[in-house]
A = this chain, B = another copy of it.
């Protein structure tokens, strides 16, 4: 006791977030036979009877790591903190029913600020028809930290894992890509302007869509419902929180498959492209590596092609191939580029 932690050991940044989680949980083995899936998917899955399962997921949001309160209103933060967790539940093809919300806050926050946060939580609960089941509050030495856990339910036969993709399956994505990242760039630019000259008002004209993608994402309950109505069960699914490249690599790795997909198929909103131009960041980079879109990336059997291709808001971006073939993007000019995760590493120094 009373020793300072040694400084000459392994820095966490060396492993990165996913490496760290793999490392820390490598010795954990699930013992309860009702637990069908522990760590390693969008959510854990456990049976509540022969036919039905519950799924559970949890996410941390940390001030100055995940959000900047200089441009994120507290109400939006409350809403988003719920949504990012519900997104993981939908990505299992399950329906969320309850959440817990814990907050640690420094003394600079007022009751009124927290009221706004909880107003956002409540609006999300109403919108997605989930109940607030509990939570905890604590002081913190610095800033705001939010921890949300979401629980959902599904029939066992309906659960979709990241690991189920088959060769020749169609690779699909909902909505559009890179918008949340584009919105973040706009907000960061306006913050920089503001910090130089507080008299200047932020210029967000014509950027409402991407700013909204960043500040008020939605979980794709509608996509899950639409697929079900069409009688389509995806073979694999993941939500896009870390960026297409990173999340696709999770899906292909766990499915033990490769994938080929096409730059000119990637759905990118017009506003995202405008921001890309402004910022001199390729639109492709935004789509591939921009996180926080909370769209669904999923695979379906080829036989669903006719149904899927007419489905509003769903884009077929490619198909699954054998594992040995690897994961490749075919660029607009026909070049085959191997995909590497460039997603965000919180622990990068």
A contact set with B: CB distance below 8 Å: 1-2, 5-7, 9-15, 17, 20-21, 23-25, 27-28, 30-32, 34-35, 38-39, 43-44, 46, 48-49, 52, 54, 56-66, 69-71, 73, 97-98, 100, 102, 104-105, 107-115, 118, 122, 125, 129, 131-143, 145, 147, 149, 151, 190-191, 194, 198, 202, 346-347, 349
Q: Is the CB of B349 within 8 A of A107?
A: yes
Pick the contact of A134: B9, B39, B73 (CB < 8 A).
Answer: B39
- C-alpha spacing A100/B54, complex, angstroms: 14
10 sample A-B contacts, Cβ–Cβ < 8 Å, listed by A number: A7-B110, A12-B105, A12-B107, A12-B111, A21-B135, A49-B49, A56-B151, A62-B138, A63-B141, A142-B142
Nearest B residue to A97 via CB reads: B32
Q: How far is the CA of A275 from the CA of B185 in the complex (A)?
A: 57
Cβ contact within 8 Å between A147 and B58: yes
Chain B residues whose C-beta falls within 8 Å of the C-beta of A21 in the assembled complex? 135, 137
Chain B residues lying within 8 Å of A12, measured Cβ to Cβ, are 105, 107, 109-111, 114, 139
Given contacts A23-B111, A60-B104, A138-B346, 11 further A-B contacts (CB under 8 A): A11-B111, A28-B118, A32-B98, A38-B131, A44-B100, A44-B134, A49-B49, A56-B98, A65-B104, A65-B139, A139-B346
Expressed in whole angstroms, the minimum distance between the Cβ of A204 and any Cβ of chain B is: 9
Residues of B within 8 A of A14 (CB): 111
Q: Let me know if B35 and A133 touch, CB within 8 A.
A: yes
The winner among A10, A58, A97, A98 for most chain B CB atoms within 10 A is A58
Q: Are A143 and B145 in contact (CB under 8 A)?
A: no
Given the known interface contacts A56-B133, A66-B138, the answer about A110 and B5 at a Cβ–Cβ threshold of 8 Å is: yes
Which residues of the other chain, B, contact A151 by a CB distance below 8 angstroms?
Answer: 56, 151
Q: Name A's interface SS.
A: mixed
Instruction: Find A107's partner among B13, B104, B135, B141 (CB 8 Å cutoff).
Output: B13
Least CB distance, A323 to chain B, in whole angstroms:
26
Decide: B134 and A56 in contact? CB cutoff 8 A: yes
Are B102 and A194 within 8 A (Cβ)? no
Q: Which of B6, B23, B149 contacts A149 (CB 8 A)?
A: B149
A39 touches B132 (CB 8 A): yes
Cα distance, A69 to B112, chains bound together (Å): 32
Measured between beta carbons, the chain B residues less than 8 angstroms from A202 are 1-2
Q: Give the shortest distance, in Å, between A294 (CB) and chain B (any CB).
A: 16
Chain B residue nearest to A111 in the complex (CB): B10
A349 to B109, CA, bound (A): 13
Asked whether, in the complex, the Cβ of A191 is within 8 Å of the Cβ of B114, the reply is no
Closest residue of B by beta carbon distance from A29: B131
> Is there an interface contact between B133 and A15, defined as CB atoms closer than 8 Å?
no
